[in-house]
Structures are given as C-alpha cells and as structure tokens.
C-alpha cells in the first residue's frame, strides 16, 4: 500500500504550483469539537472497501452518506482517499467537504507535504499521519506542514512504543488503532491499554473494531474522546440510524 502511495506522490510534483494556489484559496478548516454534554464524539467514515474486508458498499454515494452521518449526530466525517485499496478519491473528499458543515478528515497514507496541500485544496480540516508508516522525523515534519496549512493532525499509533514519536509531533489528537496494519487483526483490549497511557490533556480517537454501542462504551470507559467508525456505518442501508445508535455515550476521564 505504501509503495502504491509513493508512486502516486511522485506524480504530484509537477502540479505543485496549482495545488498550492488552490490550497491558499480554500476556506478555513473547521475545528473538531467534542460531543454535547460530555459525550464521545463520533467520526463517521465514507468507505467503499478495505483490504481486510473487501467490498463494503460499492454503490456508496459519499455526499449522501456524509449528510446522513451528520443528521445522525456525527461530529466529523472521515473520507478515505486511497483509490486502489479503499475505493476512495480526492474528488470524494472535495465533494463531502463542500456538502457538510462539520470537519472533514482526509484518511490516507500521507508521506509527503504535497498530500497535505492536496488535502487543504480539497477542503479538508485535518489529516491522518500514521506513526508506523513514517520515521519519527517525518512525522514531525508533516505535522508542522499540516499546521502551517491550517490543518489539524490526527496521529495514529497501534502500540504503546509508538506513543513517544506521536507525542513529539505535538498532535491535535492521538488516534489509537485497534487494527494491526501488518496482520489486519483487531484487538480492542490492546487499544484500551494504549488509550489509558495517553496524557490526559491530549485528545484520543479510538479507531477500528468499533461496530456497536457496547464497543463505544468500552473505549469511552478507557478514556477515548472520539471514536472513528467506518465499516459498520458505511455498509448500513440507513446510515443516519446507524450513527444515531452510536452517539451520546458519556466520556470517562483517563
């Protein structure tokens, strides 16, 4: 997956001036906010397929789904922009960002500053950076670039050993992914352990393996501030109801 991304990034440099022009002209990004009344915020994902599960919703309309998520109470929308493995696109991101009033996260394998410029030009409010995919100095450099372009950063870890690298980049939020990207195995118990180790002043987003309200309650009890939910809401025929069933869970202090 990273090799495909590197090949795509190599084609971006010729369009750098145009991307930068569009990014400068884009409206300010929206800030992520916790749920009302101290509830866990829900980030609902536009997702057609994944390497671990195959086809999820091949006929998904990103704008219709995103609007339904917001009606259901989503605090933000995540848009996968990797085409080869997840069926996403920058066009999906641009359309969703123009259609909803909540922050929009670009979820992809971000390896280069120009992908951050792309995200800004498309209307994103935040980008995902994955510690496992980047050396520590690149995590920090990309986080600085995101900040310079007015984007928030969600920096993802899977293991406690990755936390120091993520925190050194001064993230807007730490994402704790219950899925091991090497094996695709999901371990919510491990994620709970990592969540509890994140400093109290840092916002935490629990990622992967969250399908039911009981799952949201479980990571909330560990101290998650947000949950990022993809497959269970993307595949649902009534995404508004799917989101509504997951929101309103009270946060617990870490």
Q: How many CB atoms lie within 10 A of CB 28?
A: 7
The residue from 78, 125, 165, 208 that is catalytic is 208
Number of structural domains (the chain) is: 1
Q: How far is CA 27 from CA 97, 120, 154, in A?
A: 11, 9, 20
**Which string of DSSP letters, residue by residue, matches 116-183?**
HHHHHHTT-SEEEEEGGGS-HHHHHHHHHHHHHTT-EEEEEESSGGGHHHHHHT--SEEEEESB-TTT
Q: Is residue 18 part of a domain?
A: no
Tell me which residues of the chain have a pLDDT lower than 70: 1, 35-36
The token pair that represents 252 in the structure block: 């617990």
Q: Is residue 24 part of a domain?
A: no
Q: Is residue 19 part of a domain?
A: no
CATH code where residue 66 lies: 3.20.20.70
The residue from 94, 107, 192, 240 that is catalytic is 107
d(CA 174, CA 196): 12
Our answer to whether residue 252 is catalytic in this structure is no
The residue from 94, 113, 156, 162 that is catalytic is 156
The residue from 47, 78, 113, 192 that is catalytic is 47
The answer to whether 122 touches 42, Cβ cutoff 8 Å, is: no
Our answer to whether residue 208 is catalytic in this structure is yes
Model pTM score: 0.92
Q: Is residue 23 part of a domain?
A: no
Residue 62 sits in which domain range? Answer: 31-244
Our answer to whether residue 162 is catalytic in this structure is no
DSSP conformational letter for 44: E
pLDDT at 52: 73
Our answer to whether residue 177 is catalytic in this structure is yes
Our answer to whether residue 91 is catalytic in this structure is no
d(CA 120, CA 116): 6
The residue from 50, 78, 125, 177 that is catalytic is 177
pLDDT at 58: 75
Residue 250, SS3 per DSSP: strand
Q: Is residue 4 part of a domain?
A: no
Q: How far is CA 191 from CA 4, 38, 182, in A?
A: 28, 21, 16
The answer to whether 49 touches 55, Cβ cutoff 8 Å, is: yes
pLDDT at 12: 77
Task: Give the side-chain half-sphere CA count within 13 A for 227.
Answer: 36
The residue from 113, 162, 207, 240 that is catalytic is 207
């Amino acid at each position: 997956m990273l090799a495909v991304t590197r090949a795509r990034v190599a084609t971006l440099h010729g369009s750098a001036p145009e991307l930068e022009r569009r990014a400068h002209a884009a409206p300010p990004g929206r800030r992520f906010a916790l749920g009302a009344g101290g509830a866990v915020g829900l980030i609902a994902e536009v997702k057609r397929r994944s390497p671990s599960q195959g086809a999820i919703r091949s006929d998904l309309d990103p704008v219709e789904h995103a609007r339904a998520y917001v009606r259901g109470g989503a605090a933000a929308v995540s848009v996968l922009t990797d085409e080869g493995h997840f069926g996403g696109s920058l066009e999906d991101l641009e359309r969703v960002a123009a259609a909803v009033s909540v922050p929009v996260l670009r979820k992809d394998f971000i390896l280069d500053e120009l992908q951050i410029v792309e995200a800004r030009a498309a209307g994103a409010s935040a980008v995902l950076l994955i510690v496992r995919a980047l050396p520590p100095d690149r995590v920090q450099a990309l986080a600085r670039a995101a900040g310079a372009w007015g984007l928030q950063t969600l920096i993802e870890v899977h293991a406690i050993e990755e936390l120091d690298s993520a925190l050194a980049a001064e993230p807007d939020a730490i994402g704790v992914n219950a899925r091991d990207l090497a094996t695709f195995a999901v371990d919510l118990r491990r994620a709970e352990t990592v969540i509890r180790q994140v400093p109290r002043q840092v916002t935490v987003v629990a990622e992967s393996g969250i399908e039911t309200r009981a799952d949201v309650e479980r990571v909330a009890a560990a101290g998650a501030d947000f949950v990022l939910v993809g497959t269970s809401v993307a595949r649902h025929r009534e995404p508004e109801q799917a989101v509504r069933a997951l929101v309103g869970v009270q946060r617990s202090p870490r």
